[in-house]
């Protein structure tokens, strides 16, 4: 009997082994991805390889039906999973299972200055994308905040390449742990929306490498991004979606990127460049794309029939299609054909908690002073002092997750500031709209009929007369020509008559807490008259809850500005020159401020911002001791340790972002006065001191020498500035690089 069973077992093992042996390598999860890629490629016809390289619908690209290789499904966006879109148009599909969690906008994530928040964010949004069966999440965006007018700054991570680099990496890694590819965008120099489809950006190699590329480089090298989205605009005459310098030489050459380059929707413009300059998947070209209906079918895409023809007649080398197809297969094996990937979750309490936590950590307290001398600061609110609290401003009730372009969301939940304040302060709360921003096409005060604004304003002023406290909730919104894709703002000031409204209220009631919800800096002519100012962002599903927790003191604010708030627009580097510098002449644009972007401009040109990069107050205070260096001389293969004691000198626990900037005292080329090189967010109990430590490395001293095309550090004196913002430096100390 025993022998029989052993024989039977042996036969079964042989059959299963031979079965395994017959399973093609590309279908075998236990095989290394590179072997699966090679095996699949060897089985594919030329037509099948080319078919991988372009869309089959609005948000999907083809697979290989004959080999059982699935299609790839993509979805916006950086702040949550967009509702299902129709097969071949921008209209929504009207599904009822796609109401998502809205996480805060990426400016808010950047404002946390806390990489742990980025990891939480990536995990949660990755779970939602996975649950919705999306293989590519079209985000995050890391274009640098060059001008306060850019319509899409709210989707990005501020004006400093180091902050954006540190804050984007955990998001990418955590999204991809769900078997969903992040698609970092828009590579590169998409720093405005006006003329975005064709504006041809000119800038120095120094500005390119020191300011505009680092966050993309970190996304690839540290983040391991599986895909990158080409930008709409041109760089030095070539569209970024098929740009030899950006894609072949830098991304796939220097950075050894092994993932896929995907166009922005409609970003491809010709077959030759698309074939030769490193583009892998073409999406959104004309067919019901960004502009108009056409008879243009998907096979007419630039990487469709004309590319196939060019391969067959030898115009384009076969190596180009093998490279594209290999990268696409690699992304397929990392996502949709990765059987080990988790299953995701959707609109869970945990995700709402993540959204609220990030919002709470990203809200920035810009100003907090008493209304009259000897009184305590207005925030946190002590509601025992108030019988009537007026909440005024359209953003107290308006949904800020809808609109804004492709990052729009159809949400399961969105707690408004008014709802949350009512839940907190009950009948004490009275509300009035204050101003009207109208249907999505209204853009600024002159678009709203004067009598409409006047009526709302007068009502608000009347109510403010009888209130003990006014909580103003205004700012920008996701209207066209506001914080919205495909156009830039045309004014730096608050729109829809808000300034007149604010001044009118202050004339009758100085007790105002100002809450600005926006993704951009705005002009603040009333800044001296307003005792407390809170910069809230587009805060997502738990916006109201987070805001109420900050205003009430339930949570101690710890956000820091990821970009400067210039006093006036002309104080910003992009606006300090001629129109060619911004917005360009509808053909070309020259970044004349070069490397001096944001605080680099304000510091070096000595035009202080109203609120500077890295600024943010707390309900407690922090004292800094002296920075101590481990040595005063450094060599190019050495390092220097910096320690600085930071103390919570107030009476409640708080988080402080200790920022370290470095300045090169004397250099052969222009360099900013100082540049952010490290930061560390520490939690301190009242009276607690922590010794915060940083290690300065040679790379932190280097600038990009565009003559020698390499990063170099010149010997001489360097200054270390440590502070609580880029302008509030608490300790400075120098050392020599030998």
DSSP class per residue in 14-63: HHHHHHHHHS-GGG-TTS-HHHHHHHHHHH--HHHHHHTTBEEETTEE--
Token readout for 594 is 């070069």
Interacting positions 185-204 with ligand GLC (CB under 6 A): 185
* Least distance to ligand GLC, CB of residue 150, Å: 13
Token readout for 123 is 């995990």
Cα atoms in the Cβ-side hemisphere of radius 13 Å centred on 603: 24
Q: Which residues in 170-255 belong to E strands, given as ranges?
A: 181-187, 200-202, 227-230, 234-235, 238-239
Cα atoms in the Cβ-side hemisphere of radius 13 Å centred on 708: 9
B/e letters for 578-597, b = 16+ CB within 10 Å, e = fewer, are: eeebbbbeeeebbbbbbbbb
**264 assigned to active site:** yes
Nearer residue to ligand GLC within complex by CB, 54 or 619:
54
Token readout for 310 is 């060019």
Compute the distance between CA of residue 129 and CA of residue 664 in angstroms, rounded to an integer. Answer: 44
Nearer residue to ligand GLC within complex by CB, 155 or 174:
155
* Least distance to ligand GLC, CB of residue 279, Å: 15
Nearer residue to ligand GLC within complex by CB, 380 or 403:
403
Candidates 135, 160, 264, 383; catalytic one:
264
Compute the distance between CA of residue 534 and CA of residue 557 in angstroms, rounded to an integer. Answer: 10
* Least distance to ligand GLC, CB of residue 229, Å: 7
Interacting positions 258-277 with ligand GLC (CB under 6 A): 264-265
Interacting positions 156-185 with ligand GLC (CB under 6 A): 185
Total site size for ligand GLC, rule CB under 6 A: 6
Q: Which residues in 133-284 belong to E strands, given as ranges?
A: 136-137, 181-187, 200-202, 227-230, 234-235, 238-239, 260-262
Nearer residue to ligand GLC within complex by CB, 233 or 727:
233
Nearer residue to ligand GLC within complex by CB, 91 or 454:
91
* Least distance to ligand GLC, CB of residue 98, Å: 15
Nearer residue to ligand GLC within complex by CB, 227 or 518:
227
Nearer residue to ligand GLC within complex by CB, 211 or 241:
241
Cβ atoms < 10 Å from Cβ of 20:
10
Interacting positions 72-111 with ligand GLC (CB under 6 A): 76
* Least distance to ligand GLC, CB of residue 264, Å: 5
Token readout for 217 is 């480089």
Interacting positions 543-582 with ligand GLC (CB under 6 A): none
Token readout for 669 is 């080329």
* Least distance to ligand GLC, CB of residue 626, Å: 46
Nearer residue to ligand GLC within complex by CB, 138 or 471:
138
Interacting positions 605-624 with ligand GLC (CB under 6 A): none
* Least distance to ligand GLC, CB of residue 145, Å: 16
Token readout for 52 is 């991988």
Nearer residue to ligand GLC within complex by CB, 76 or 83:
76
Interacting positions 352-411 with ligand GLC (CB under 6 A): 406
**3-state secondary structure string, 262-301?**
ECCCCCCCCHHHHHHCCCCEECCCCCCCCCCCCCCCHHHC
Using N-to-C axis directions, what is the helix angle for 543-552 and 417-425, rounded to 10°?
50
- Give residue for tokens 């919705």: 132
CA 393 to chain centre: 26
Interface with ligand GLC (CB under 6 A), residue from 40, 52, 81, 138 = 138
Sign of torsion, CA 25 27 29 32? positive
Nearer residue to ligand GLC within complex by CB, 79 or 334:
79
Residue 150: name the closest of 77, 231, 69, 227 by CA: 231
3-class DSSP state for residue 73? strand
Cβ atoms < 10 Å from Cβ of 609:
24
Which residue in the shown chain puts its C-beta closest to ligand GLC? 406
* Least distance to ligand GLC, CB of residue 77, Å: 6
* Least distance to ligand GLC, CB of residue 266, Å: 7
* Least distance to ligand GLC, CB of residue 202, Å: 22
CA angle 613, 469, 537 (to 5 degrees): 30
Inter-CA distances, 167 with 218, 219, 222, 232, 664, Å? 10, 10, 11, 24, 25
Compute the distance between CA of residue 395 and CA of residue 473 in angstroms, rounded to an integer. Answer: 5
- Give residue for tokens 């001389």: 633
Sign of torsion, CA 237 239 240 245? negative
3-class DSSP state for residue 516? strand
**DSSP run (H or E) holding 658:** strand 654-664
Residues that bind ligand GLC (CB under 6 A): 76, 138, 185, 264-265, 406
Which are the catalytic amino acids?
264
């Amino acid at each position: 009997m025993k022998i029989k069973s052993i024989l039977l077992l042996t036969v079964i093992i042989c059959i299963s082994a031979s079965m395994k042996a017959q399973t093609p390598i590309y279908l075998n999860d236990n095989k290394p991805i590179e072997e699966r890629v090679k095996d699949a490629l060897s089985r594919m016809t030329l037509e099948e390889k080319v078919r991988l390289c372009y869309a089959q619908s609005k948000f999907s690209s083809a697979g290989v039906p004959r080999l059982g290789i699935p299609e790839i499904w993509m979805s916006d966006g950086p702040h949550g999973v967009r509702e299902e879109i129709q097969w071949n148009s921008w209209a929504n599909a009207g599904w009822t299972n796609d109401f998502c969690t809205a996480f805060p906008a990426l400016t808010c994530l950047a404002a946390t200055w806390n990489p742990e928040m980025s990891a939480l964010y990536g995990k949660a949004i990755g779970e939602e994308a996975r649950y919705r069966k999306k293989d590519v999440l079209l985000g995050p965006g890391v274009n640098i905040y060059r001008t306060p007018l850019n319509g899409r700054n709210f989707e990005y991570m501020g004006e400093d390449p180091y902050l954006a680099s540190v804050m984007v990496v955990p998001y990418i890694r955590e999204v991809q742990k769900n078997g969903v590819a992040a698609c970092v965008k828009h590579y590169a120099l998409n720093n405005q929306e006006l003329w975005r489809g064709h504006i041809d950006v000119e800038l120095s190699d120094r500005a390119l490498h020191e300011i505009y590329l680092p966050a993309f480089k970190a996304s690839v090298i540290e983040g391991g991004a599986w895909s990158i989205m080409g930008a709409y605009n041109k760089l030095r005459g070539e569209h970024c979606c098929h740009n030899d310098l950006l894609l072949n030489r830098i991304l796939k050459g220097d950075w050894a990127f092994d993932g896929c380059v995907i166009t922005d929707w409609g970003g491809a413009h010709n077959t030759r460049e698309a074939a030769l300059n490193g583009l892998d998947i073409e999406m959104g070209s004309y067919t019901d794309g960004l502009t108009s209906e056409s008879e243009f079918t998907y096979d007419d895409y630039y990487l469709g029939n004309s590319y196939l023809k060019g391969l067959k007649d030898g115009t384009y080398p076969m190596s180009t299609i093998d490279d594209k197809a290999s990268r696409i297969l690699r992304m397929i094996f990392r996502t949709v054909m990765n059987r080990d990937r988790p299953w995701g979750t959707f609109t869970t309490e945990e995700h709402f908690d993540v959204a609220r936590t990030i919002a709470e950590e990203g809200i920035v307290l810009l100003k907090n002073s008493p209304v009259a001398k000897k009184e305590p600061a207005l925030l946190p609110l002590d509601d025992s002092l108030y019988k009537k609290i007026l909440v005024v401003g359209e953003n107290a009730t308006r949904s800020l997750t809808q609109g804004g372009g492709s990052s729009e969301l159809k949400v399961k939940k969105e707690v408004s500031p008014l709802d949350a304040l009512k839940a907190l302060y009950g009948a004490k709360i009275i509300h009035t709209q204050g101003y009207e921003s109208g249907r999505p096409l209204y853009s600024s005060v002159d678009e709203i009929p004067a009598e409409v604004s006047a009526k709302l304003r007068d009502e608000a002023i009347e109510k403010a007369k009888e209130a003990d406290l006014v909580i103003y909730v205004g700012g920008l919104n996701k209207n066209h020509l506001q914080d919205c894709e495909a156009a830039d703002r045309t004014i730096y000031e608050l729109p829809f008559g808000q300034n007149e409204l604010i001044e009118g209220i202050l004339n009758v009631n100085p007790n105002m807490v100002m809450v600005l919800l926006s993704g951009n800096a705005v002009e603040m002519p009333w800044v001296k008259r307003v005792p407390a100012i809170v910069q809230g962002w587009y805060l997502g599903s738990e916006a109201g809850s987070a805001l109420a927790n900050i205003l009430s003191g339930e949570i101690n604010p710890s956000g820091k500005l990821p970009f400067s708030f210039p006093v006036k627009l002309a104080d910003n580097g992009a606006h300090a020159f001629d129109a060619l510098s911004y917005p360009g002449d509808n053909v070309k644009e020259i970044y004349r401020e070069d490397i001096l972007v944001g605080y680099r401009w304000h510091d070096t040109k000595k035009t202080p911002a109203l609120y500077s990069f890295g600024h943010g107050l707390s309900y407690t205070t922090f004292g800094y001791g002296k920075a101590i260096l481990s040595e005063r001389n450094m060599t190019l293969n050495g390092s220097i340790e910096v320690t600085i004691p930071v103390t919570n000198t107030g009476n409640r626990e708080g988080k402080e972002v200790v920022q370290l900037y470095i300045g090169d005292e004397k250099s052969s080329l222009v360099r900013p006065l100082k540049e952010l090189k490290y930061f560390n967010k520490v939690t301190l109990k009242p009276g607690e001191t922590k010794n915060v430590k940083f290690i300065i490395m040679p790379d932190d001293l280097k600038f990009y020498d565009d003559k020698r095309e390499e990063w170099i550090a010149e010997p001489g004196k360097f200054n270390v500035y440590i502070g609580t913002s880029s302008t509030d430096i608490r300790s400075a100390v120098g050392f020599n690089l030998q």
